[in-house]
Every structure is written in C-alpha cells, then in structure tokens.
Amino acid sequence: MLAIDIGNTTIALGVVVNGKVVESLRIDTTKDTDRLKPVIIKQVNYLLNKGYECKRVVICSVVPKNTRLVERLIKESLNIKVQVVGRDLPVPMKNHYKNPSQVGQDRLVGAYAALKLYGKPLIVVDLGTAITFDAVSKKGEYLGGAIVPGIRLSAESLFLKTALLPEIDIKAPKNPIGRTTQDSILSGLFYGYGVLCKGFIDLLGVQMKAKPKVVMTGGHTQLMKKFVSPKIRIIDEDLVFKGMALL
C-alpha cells in the first residue's frame, strides 16, 4: 500500500507491506501546485522503479487543495483508485468533539493507530507544523485534545514579527542558558516545548483520571525526544502510515 500523508509543511509517502512501513519519503509542501506536481510524480516513479507493486493508495490530508491534486496525479500515474480518509475510509472511533468533522483526519488516524497498537488509555503527541495532544479514554473513545504552534512555526514567527531576532536553523541546543541570540531562541524552543509537553501530559492525565500511555510521533520527534523524556516512552514516527494501513 502507498500511504500519503498531506500536511501543511510536508507531504509524506510511505510504502506499507503487511502492516510494516518499509520505506518513506518526504516532500516540502507548497501552495504552488505547478511546482508540486513534478516533485510528486518523481517520487512516485522512484518508488515504482525500486520494484514496489502498488495495490492500494490511501491519502490522509489536512490540505484539501493538495488532496485533489495528489489524487488526480496518482490516478494518472498508477491507474488505481485512491481512497481518502474521512471521505472513503471513516475512522471507527467514537468522537467526543462538539463538531466531529472539525478534527483533523491526521489526528484521528494517529489516535486510532496508537489505540490499536499500544492500548488504552493514551495520549498521542504529534510534533508537526502544530504540536497536537490527543486523548483516548479507557473505553477507546477519542476525547479531544490541544493544539499549539509547532517548533518551526514559532521560530519563523519570531523572525518575521521582530526587528532584531534572526532566522535560525532548527537544531537541538546544548544548554538551557543560551549565550548567543540563536542559542537563546533554540533553548526557548526546545527546553520550553519540552516543559510544555511534560506539563500537558500531566494535565491531560488528571483530566482523564488515568495514567495514560504516551505516544510521540511527527517530523520533529527525533529532535525533541530527549527534552520530553521520561514522560514519553513510546516513539512511533510512522504512526499515521500504520493507521492508514489498519483502516
């Protein structure tokens, strides 16, 4: 199965064989569909040239415009029907959001995958463009969660909205006390978000009246994991791919 996770920052392609992710690729998302089109075709052809036989394609997306583009390109390239999570593949969890349709499909898929793979109750922490916290109850029901701006988004906001703070490369700091402006920003981002994650995990656990398992996923997982430890013991960067395969 070819699993395609379309986010605000990246489009990730995962090859799933018998429930296991055997290869994954990432493409920077852009609003310019003319620029995006040849990159997607190139990556799909790369996977085909490696000998993968695609029998099913599933898309999970939070960017509707890119969903339509990718679906059309896949149909043209592979001549295969594409299934979209939410439209063709509902996530079979009771959803306690006041308006269930407002929950991002990636959040639901991640929660569903974590539930099936790691048990309940649980919290999923997804470190992407936004950092999301999603709670699953003892009954296996999706309760809701929290959303905060992600690491890169926060760094870009500091650069764009201030006169003197520089644009920085995102990398883990060595010390919480920064001795340059760049190190100070990195310290604030990584140690600050680490404390935020730990605090949110504790707060949600109290609200859930449980000691939930915690699963971390998302593009900044490897960079952030040591700043959140020991609160998070389960790391699964392929959680959404696995969730699409389970669906």
Q: Which residues pair with 147 in a beta bridge?
A: 132
Q: Does the annotation mark 88 as catalytic?
A: no
Distance of CA 139 to the CA centre of its chain: 24
Distance of CA 189 to the CA centre of its chain: 18
**Sheet with 20-28: strands ordered across:** 20-28, 10-17, 2-6, 57-61, 82-84
Of 244, 197, 246, whose CA–CA distance to 220 is shortest? 197
User: CB of 245 within 8 A of CB of 116?
Assistant: no
d(CA 209, CA 180): 42
Q: Which is the catalytic residue, given 106, 126, 236, 238?
A: 106
User: CB of 141 within 8 A of CB of 94?
Assistant: yes
AA identity, residue 57: V
DSSP state for residue 8 in the 8-state scheme: S
Checking DSSP bridges between strand 234-235 and strand 142-149, what pairing results, if any? unpaired
Which residues of the chain form beta strands (DSSP E)? 2-6, 10-17, 20-28, 57-61, 82-84, 122-127, 130-136, 142-149, 213-217, 234-235
d(CA 67, CA 61): 6
Task: List the catalytic residues.
Answer: 106
